[in-house]
Amino acid sequence: MDIAVAIVLLVLIVFVIIVLVRSVRIIPQARAGVVERLGKYQRTLNPGLTLLIPFVDRLLPLLDLREQVVSFPPQPVITEDNLVVSIDTVVYFQVTDARAATYEIANYIQAVEQLTTTTLRNVVGGLNLEEALTSRDQINGQLRGVLDEATGRWGIRVSRVELKAIDPPHSIQDSMEKQMRAERDRRAAILTAEGTKQSAILTAEGQRQSSILKAEGDAKAAILRADGEAQAIQKVFDAIHKGNPDQKLLAYQYLQTLPKIAEGSSNKLWIIPSEVGEALKGIGSVLGAGAVQEQTASTPDVAPYSPPAAADGQGNRP
């Protein structure tokens, strides 16, 4: 009898423990749970402690409410110019309604993947290869708009869609690499030519500035020399006028200057100013007067000679 009572008590204790375990639930943060009562949606559990009716209420697997990142495998897409490119996509989404994500779609991750592939083919199919390679932001925006609108009724919000890689065919890649190499060579040639041009411009500018400075220096030097010569002439002129020279001194100076005029093997013609002739006349008169005085001093006094008178017609002389 005691054994039967003990077994009944043990069964009751186990039953109570099972009831407590099945009735008490703890929902972690950033999680959500959907409760079904007798197979019908009853409520959505928020983070915290909650109680369920054992054997009546059933808690479905918890849903993650955090933003999730899903990377889909490369998908072949045909562009407008009939080139097949392989595109990798990354989708950032978040569950905002646990009830809709549970009952509106069977597998929302697979649904997002298929919808992304379909939308990507529609968007990229209207672009050529060059536009597809250079319009990633535009493609991302179009994908996000279409996905967010379609997944809204599933209780999912698509926040971002990124194209991770766009791989054209290998033949196109080789052609693109050649084109890029040619473009880089062209830019390098342009930069080299621009550098040479700038160098030539700077060199010419330097030479021009040097020529200008040299010409200015020569002009200043010529002005200084002319000023010096003018001052020297002025001083000589002032000295001559202060000395009050006579005609003899000027004639002597002219005679000293004549040999300098004859210097040089190419001087074949002399042009003598009229002042030199006047000076020579003065010198001649001076020298002639001196010679007459010397001859008069050395010759004895003699009666002056008078020529005989001419005879008349009869032969008589006066």
pLDDT in tens, the chain (318 residues): 578 778 888 888 888 888 777 788 888 998 999 999 988 999 998 898 888 888 888 889 999 999 999 988 888 888 888 888 888 889 999 999 999 999 988 888 888 888 888 888 888 888 888 888 888 888 888 888 888 888 888 999 998 888 888 888 777 777 777 878 888 888 889 988 988 888 899 988 888 888 898 888 888 888 888 888 888 878 877 777 776 666 666 666 666 666 666 665 655 665 655 555 665 565 556 555 544 444 444 444 444 444 444 444 444 444
Backbone dihedral region of 82: left (phi > 0), alpha (psi from -120 to 50 degrees) or beta?
Answer: left
Distance in angstroms (rounded) separating the CA atoms of residues 244 and 240? 6
Q: What is the pLDDT of residue 307?
A: 46
For 40-44, the CB contacts below 8 A with 24+ separation are 41/99, 41/103, 44/98, 44/99
Q: Which residues of 230-269 are buried (b: 16+ CB within 10 A; e: fewer)?
A: eeeeeeeeeeeeeeeeeeeebbeebeeeeeeeeeeeeeee
Distance in angstroms (rounded) separating the CA atoms of residues 96 and 34? 13
Q: Where are the domains of the chain?
A: 21-62, 67-168, 170-227
Q: What is the pLDDT of residue 298?
A: 45
Q: What is the pLDDT of residue 246?
A: 62
Distance in angstroms (rounded) separating the CA atoms of residues 160 and 92? 5
> Among residues of the chain, what percentage have pLDDT more than 70?
76
Identity of the amino acid at 137: D
Tens-place pLDDT, residues 55-96: 888 889 999 999 999 988 888 888 888 888 888 889 999 999
Tens-place pLDDT, residues 92-120: 999 999 999 999 888 888 888 888 888 88
Distance in angstroms (rounded) separating the CA atoms of residues 279 and 249? 9
Secondary structure class of 186 (helix, strand, coil): helix
> pTM for the whole thing?
0.52
Domain 67-168 fold is Tetrahydropterin Synthase; Chain A (3.30.479)
